[in-house]
Amino acid sequence: MSGGLLLVGASGLAREVIATGVEVAGILDDDASLHGTLVGGAPVVGAMDAVLAREERLLVCVGPSRRRRDVVARLRALGVAEERYATVVARSARIGDSSTVGAGSILLDGVVVTADARIGDHVVVMPNCTVTHDDVLEDFATLAAGVALGGGVTIGEASYVGMNATVRQGVRVGAEATVGMAAAVVRDVPEGQTWAGVPARALEVNA
């Protein structure tokens, strides 16, 4: 493999990854107007399909959980193996020795992961989040900045927890669910629903 990471998606998340100080060889993005430009000081070197002509390890920097999952599925269909994905943990993040972080995941500055937590593949944990004992973040989950999880929480696949939200111990946030910013989640959030408020409740959906 060549030196440096190849980021997929010329996004704000890509610039945040670059700001951690990791070596970046380039960025792939389907927006042709970005090709040949710099994003966060890194060159945009082509569209996503150009991954086949490159050898670097990859990191998908697409913010929304389900879109990130779609991009990984697209790359898989092109023949990209899971072992090609890198994991980025900012230098100021702290990961407990008994916790694990999966391939393609990104943990930014000030993140704390304590004991026996399991962070899946292609998870994004934004700055200053707290992930405590026995928490599980399933694949493609996203925690926005400042989220705090009590012990034994499960954040389901491709779900999103908004900035400064808190989740009580033992609660499950279902797959593809959304928790609004500053929400206080004290009971399980069903799959696919959007909850907000203190305490958090399901939002009414207008027909």
Quick one: 93 and 77 in the same domain? no
pLDDT of residue 204: 76
Question: Based on the domain organization, do 78 and 108 belong to the same domain?
Answer: no
Tell whether 96 and 71 lie within a shared domain: no
Position 52 in a domain: yes
| In a shared domain, residues 77 and 95 | no
Is residue 100 a part of any domain in this protein? yes
Strand, helix or coil for residue 43? strand
Which CATH number fits the domain that encloses residue 96?
2.160.10.10
- Verdict on whether the full-model pTM lies above 0.85: yes
Asked if 76 and 116 sit in the same domain, the reply is no
First to last CA, the chain: 51
Q: Which pLDDT tens digits describe the chain residue by residue (207 residues)?
A: 457 999 999 999 999 999 999 999 999 999 999 999 999 999 999 999 999 999 999 999 999 999 999 999 999 999 999 999 999 999 999 999 999 999 999 999 999 999 999 999 999 999 999 999 999 999 999 999 999 999 999 999 999 999 999 999 999 999 999 999 999 999 999 999 999 999 999 997 654
Q: Are residues 105 and 71 in the same domain?
A: no
Domain with 164, as residue range(s), is 87-198
**Tally of structural domains, the chain:** 2
Confidence at residue 14, expressed as pLDDT on a 0 to 100 scale? 98
Residue 190's alpha-carbon distances to 133, 135, 202, in angstroms, are: 22, 18, 9
In this structure, how many other beta carbons lie within 10 angstroms of the beta carbon of residue 53? 8
- Rounded Cα distance, 153 and 48, in Å: 35
Of 84, 107, 136, which residue sits at a domain end? Answer: 84
Beta bridge partner(s), residue 42: 39
